[in-house]
Amino acid sequence: MNKIAKKTALVAALLAFVVQTPLFSQTLKRVSYGDFEQWIVRDIEESFLLGGNTRRIYDIGKTDTIKGNQVLRSTSIWGTANAYAKVAGVVKTSVSVTPEKGPTGYCVKLVNRLASCKVIGLVDVEVLAGGSIFWGHNIEPISNVRTPYKNMNWGVPFTQRPSALVLDYKANISKSCIITRCTSTSKSTYKGDDPAEMFLILQSRTEDEKGNITAKRVGTAWTYIRQSSQGWVKNFRIPMIYGDASKTAGYKPYMGLIGKDHDRCFYAKNKKGKLVKIDENAWAEADAKPTHAILMITSTSQGAYCGNLENVLWVDNVRLEYTE
C-alpha cells in the first residue's frame, strides 16, 4: 500500500470513528419522588357546619398516613394544589391531585375541579382549582383564597445545569374550547384553548438588606400540551435553553420572565422568614450557575382559578437529563 492509500485509509477510519462515537453522552437522573410511588395521605376533618366529614388529601413524599387536622411537614421537594384551608374559622379541603395506577406502579393524576365552601352568614366561596404539582410547598392552613400564588413558597435550592426535563405523560385535553373562570368573587365562562403546561425554570436569586428577592433567569424548559395523547407518551423531552431564551428560535411568549407585576408572580420566603415576591427581572448569561429551580406541571395553562373542567393530565417518571 503506497503512502497516499495509507493516508486515505487512515482518514476513512477516523471519520468512521467520529460518526460512530457520540461527542456527548446523556445521562438521565430521577427526580426525588418523581416516580410517584410514595404518597403522604392526610385525613382532614372538615368543619361541622360543612357536615363534619373526614376528607383525604394526598401529598408527594415518604409514605405516611396522618390523622387529624395537621399542616404538612413535607419530606420531599414537591408541593401540590391540594389544599387544607381554614377560611373564617371554617375548615375545608380541596383535592385536584391524586395517585392512580399507571403502566408500572403509580402515577399522578391532575384534574381541573371546582371547590366550594358555603356556610350561611360566614363564608360563601367557590373557586376553580387546577390540578398542579410543583417544587416548593403550601403555606398551611390556607386562609386567603384571593391571592393563590401567595399561599405557596415557590422553588427549591438548585445549582445544577440539566440539558432537559424528561417525563412520561398521558393527556386528555378538551376540544370544547370553553374556559371557566371561577374566583372567590365571580364566575364566568369564555371561549379559548386550555393546554396543559410543563416547565422547569432555573433562577439565580439574590436578596437585598430589606429582604427583597430578585432573580435572573438562568435556564428555561417550557412547553404546552395542546392535544390529547393516544395512550402514554414515554420519555417526553423538554430541552433546557440557557441564557436569553427570547432570542432563540424555540421561544414562545409564555416562556417570558415572571416579574413582580406579572399575573403569575411567584413568592418565596426570605432570610427573615417573610414571604415576598420573586422579582425575576433579567436574563442571566448562558454560562451562569443557578441557585434555585421552579418546576411546575399543571392540567391548565390559564392561570389561577381558570381552566377547562374536562382536562385531565397523568404524569410519571420525572427525570433530568444531563449532557457530558
255-268 residue pLDDT tens? 999 999 998 999 99
Please name which of 137, 105, 99 lies closest in space to residue 314, comparing C-alpha atoms: 99
pLDDT tens-digit series, residues 121-159: 555 567 788 999 999 998 888 777 677 788 899 999 999
Global pTM value: 0.88
Task: Kindly state whether residue 80 falls inside one of the protein's structural domains.
Answer: yes
d(CA 111, CA 136): 20
Indicate if the alpha-carbon torsion angle 297, 92, 55, 69 is positive or negative: positive
Task: Kindly state whether residue 294 falls inside one of the protein's structural domains.
Answer: yes
Supply the range of the domain harboring residue 216: 31-323
- For the domain that residue 171 is a member of, what is the CATH number? 2.60.120
Q: How far is CA 222 from CA 112, 155, 166, 183, 245, in A?
A: 20, 16, 11, 26, 10
Q: What residues contact 59, with CB distance under 8 A and at least 6 apart?
A: 39, 40, 41, 42, 72, 74, 78, 79, 80, 82
Instruction: Spell out the alpha helix ranges (H) of the chain.
Output: 3-20
Q: Count of domains in the chain?
A: 1
Task: Kindly state whether residue 244 falls inside one of the protein's structural domains.
Answer: yes
Task: Kindly state whether residue 133 falls inside one of the protein's structural domains.
Answer: yes
d(CA 22, CA 272): 48
Task: Kindly state whether residue 88 falls inside one of the protein's structural domains.
Answer: yes
pLDDT tens-digit series, residues 92-105: 888 999 999 998 89
Task: Kindly state whether residue 193 falls inside one of the protein's structural domains.
Answer: yes
pLDDT tens-digit series, residues 65-120: 999 888 887 789 999 999 888 877 888 888 999 999 998 899 999 999 887 666 55
Amino acid identity for residue 161 in this structure: R
Cβ atoms within 10 Å, residue 269 = 16
Estimate the share of the chain in helix, then strand, then coil, as percent rounded to the nearest 5.
10, 50, 40
Task: Kindly state whether residue 251 falls inside one of the protein's structural domains.
Answer: yes
Grid cell 420525572 is found at 318
Task: Kindly state whether residue 169 falls inside one of the protein's structural domains.
Answer: yes
